[in-house]
Amino acid sequence: MLTIETLCKTYPNGTHALEKISLNVDAGEIVAMVGGSGCGKTTLLRMISGLEAPTQGHVAIDGEPIFAPHPAVGIVFQEARLLPWLTVAQNIAFGLDHLPRAEQEARVDQALLRVGLAGYGKRWPRELSGGQAQRVAIVRALVAQPKALLLDEPFSALDALTREDLQDHLLALWEQHRPTLVLVTHDVEEAVALADRAIVLQPKPGRIFADIPIDLPRPRDRLSPEFAEAKRLVLKALDGSINQPMTHQPGKVHSPSAGGSF
Amino acid sequence: MSEGTLDNSSETNAQPGATRFSVFGTSFLLGLVLPVTAGLLYEAAFRAGLVQARLLPPPSRIFTTLWKLAESGELKTHVIATVGRVGMGFGLGSLVGILLGALTGASRDARRLLDPTLQALRAIPSLAWVPLFILWLGIFEGSKIALIAAGVFFPVYLGVMAAIANVDRKIVEVGRAFRLSRLAMVRRVLLPAILPDTIIAIRSGLGMGFMFVVAAEIMGASEGLGYLLVDGQQLGKPDQILAAIIAFAVLGKIGDWLIVVSTKPALAWQDTHQRGA
Ligand SMILES: Nc1ncnc2c1ncn2[C@@H]1O[C@H](COP(=O)(O)OP(=O)(O)OP(=O)(O)O)[C@@H](O)[C@H]1O
Ligand SMILES: [Mg+2]
């Protein structure tokens, strides 16, 4: 459904962010991207969304190449990025301009209800907590009913309890239309709690290090031994990805920064 | 600090509405303490024969003069003349300022083409234009309005250009992600984003307008508050000068207040530390 082929990205300043990423994601699948800071997760997501052009390779959704933001692909950024001059309800309806007013209102009301924010529609974004704002941002992308939704560490700024709560909200929303989810996270627990597959990226330049299926039935019990085992697998891969010896580069061997990306 | 404590203590023993009013009243009254005390002291010193008030008349005489001017209808004529000039010059200057500021803010090519010239013009003290404006537009309204418009133009132009250039890339990206057309991007993202800064620019533009109307009227006018100033100087009537100054202050304040009040509903969303202050 989502095809990523030999995607490379080198930024104008020379940073080699991604090297030959190839990946297929099925319809309705939830894929988690994990990897250390700076390994290119955001870059990858931005290229899938069409906000940024790859240096090489291409992305396609249902065989249709993506050059610019595509109606079937939604994105949730790391920060909520609500428009401060619109109320919560208007923010959620931001991408629904083409629909009749009644349909907009119906979708907004239902969305607010689903994320536990009924009655918050008339508030300004500044009157929301961080977690509430992030829920609004997720719902803003989802009410447009994209076939694929990209999420860039949507919960990373929240405390553990809120995060778990929002993960459940996200799953509940996903159940509705079952869009494909690509979720960037650096939280292994989050990856295992949500995803069908965890893709571990390796830094400098960003490459796929491991592709780990997570075959646990939903709803998942975070305390079960199977969950712990899956977590261990992903963690191990993550460790490996970071401690990989660098490919031998003459002159760079003794560079103090050559060790890891953190 | 002290305002916070004041707020809290009054909240506990008064209704919310009353609280807001009393806090507003307190801060308003506090601002009056200094000028009123100074005025009263001076008045008292004058009454006691301690000061010669030939050059600086006491408040009572200034207000009497102001009152007489108002009663005779003269004040109204002068105020209308001044407000008319400020209005025209401000309207013209801010309109052109907004248009050019938007153009140079939005398009790099337009900025490269226009901005150096405009910045060079800005470096010229606006009053230096006066002789030229008079040559071109005559001694009457045209040159005055042109001078005021030139004064208003620059702060508005700079403010709007900076506002557009500073719109948060992250917010614009939200618009891109939802595939807004160019027009929709301007209407739904850029315009609301620059509104607060634009209003500030317009307010400083209006301030400049009042500054330059004085210059324009001093350089030759048969009516207007600036004329009252010159007239007062030539006839040796400091009370008339001070009355005109007070009228200027009140007009300027009212103009600024009108902008603030009329735009307040459009800015209710703002998240600044000055909210409700
Ligand atoms: N606009 C840019 N211009 C130049 N280099 C960039 C740009 N954005 C990111 N980079 C670089 O590309 C690499 C990948 O960055 P990216 O933001 O994709 O990392 P990330 O995996 O999302 O990290 P994090 O987990 O910290 O968000 C980094 O080395 C970063 O410095
Ligand atoms: Mg990132």
Residue ranges per structural domain of chain A? 2-75+145-243
Q: Which residue of B has its CA nearest to A73?
A: B177
Q: Please name the helix (run of DSSP H) or strand (run of DSSP E) that holds residue A103, with its range, or none.
A: helix A101-114
Mean pLDDT, rounded, for A190-208:
92
Question: Could you give the 3-state DSSP secondary structure of residue A58?
Answer: strand
The C-alpha atoms of residue A38 and residue A262 are separated, in whole angstroms, by 8
pLDDT at position A181 is 95
Confidence of residue B173 (pLDDT cuts 50, 70, 90): very high
CA distance A112 to chain B (A): 20
Please give the pLDDT value at position A242: 81
Q: Whose CA is nearest to atom 26 of ligand 1?
A: A37
Tens of pLDDT, residue by residue over A95-131, are: 998 899 999 999 999 999 888 899 999 999 999 998 8
A10 lines ligand 1 (CB under 6 A): no
Phi, psi of B118 (to 5 degrees): -65, -40
Q: What is the pLDDT of residue A133?
A: 93
* pLDDT tens digits for range B155-170: 999 999 999 988 999 9
Q: What is the pTM of this model?
A: 0.78
Nearest-angstrom CA–CA distance, A79 and B170: 9
The pLDDT of residue A115 is 85
Of chain B, the percentage scoring pLDDT greater than 90 comes to: 45
Q: For residue A11, which ligand has an atom nearest its CA?
A: 1
Is A94 in Cβ contact with B174 (below 8 Å)? yes
Q: Distance between CA atoms of A88 and A85, rounded to whole angstroms?
A: 10
Whether A86 sits inside 8 A of B269 (CB atoms) is yes
How sure is the predictor about A251, in pLDDT bands with cuts at 50, 70 and 90?
Answer: very low
Would you place residue B22 in the very low, low, confident or very high pLDDT band (cuts 50, 70, 90)?
low
Residue B221 or A213, more confident: A213
Looking at domain A2-75+145-243, does it have CATH number 1.20.120.1770?
no
pLDDT at B99: 92
- In this prediction, residue A245 carries a pLDDT of 59
Q: How far is the CA of A38 from the centre of ligand 2 (A)?
A: 7
Q: How many CB atoms neighbour CB B266 within 10 A?
A: 13
CA distance A41 to chain B (A): 17
Distance, in Å, from the CA atom of A98 to the CA atom of A87, rounded to the nearest integer, reads: 19
Mean pLDDT within B149-153: 93
What is the SS3 assignment for A10-28?
Answer: ECCCCCEEEEEEEEEECCC
pLDDT digits (tens, 9 = 90+) for A145-195: 999 999 999 988 888 888 888 899 899 889 988 999 999 998 999 999 999
| Percent of chain A topping pLDDT 90 | 65
CA of B181 to the centre of ligand 1 (A): 28
Mean pLDDT of chain B: 85
Residue nearest to atom 4 of ligand 1 (CA): A11
**Beta-carbon contacts below 8 Å between A and B:** 46
Q: Do B192 and A85 touch (CB under 8 A)?
A: yes
- β A56-61/A2-10 pair status: antiparallel
- pLDDT over threshold 70, residue B24: no
pLDDT at residue B240 greater than cutoff 60: yes
Average pLDDT value for residue range B239-254: 91
Mean pLDDT of B140-152: 91
Helix (H) or strand (E) run with residue A43 in it: helix A41-49
User: What percentage of chain A reaches a pLDDT higher than 70?
Assistant: 93
Mean pLDDT of A200-227: 90
| CA nearest to B192 within chain A | A85
pLDDT in tens, B98-134: 999 988 988 889 999 999 999 999 898 888 888 888 8
Average pLDDT of chain A, as a whole number: 88
Of B178, B268, B270, the CB nearest to A95: B178
Any CB–CB contact under 8 A between A98 and chain B?
no
Name the residue at shortest CA distance from atom 22 of ligand 1: A42
| Residue of B269, B274, B275 to mutate, interface with A, max A Cβ within 10 Å | B269
pLDDT digits (tens, 9 = 90+) for A20-34: 999 999 999 999 999
Tell me the pLDDT tens digit for each residue of B182-219: 889 988 999 999 999 999 999 999 999 999 999 888 88
pLDDT digits (tens, 9 = 90+) for B42-65: 889 888 888 877 778 888 888 999
B154-191 in b/e burial notation, b at 16+ Cβ within 10 A?
Answer: bbbbbbbbebbeebeeebebbbbbbebeeeebeebbbe
Interface of A with B in 227-246 (CB under 8 A): none
Q: Is ligand 1 within 6 A of the CB of residue A39?
A: yes
Predicted pLDDT of residue B54? 76
pLDDT value at position B85?
Answer: 94
Q: Do B176 and A85 touch (CB under 8 A)?
A: no
Quick one: pLDDT band at residue A55, thresholds 50, 70, 90?
very high
Closest residue by Cα to atom 24, ligand 1, is A37
Ligand 1 atom 28 nearest Cα: A38
Q: State the alpha helices, DSSP H only, in chain B.
A: 2-12, 16-47, 59-71, 74-106, 108-123, 130-137, 141-165, 169-177, 182-185, 191-218, 225-234, 238-263
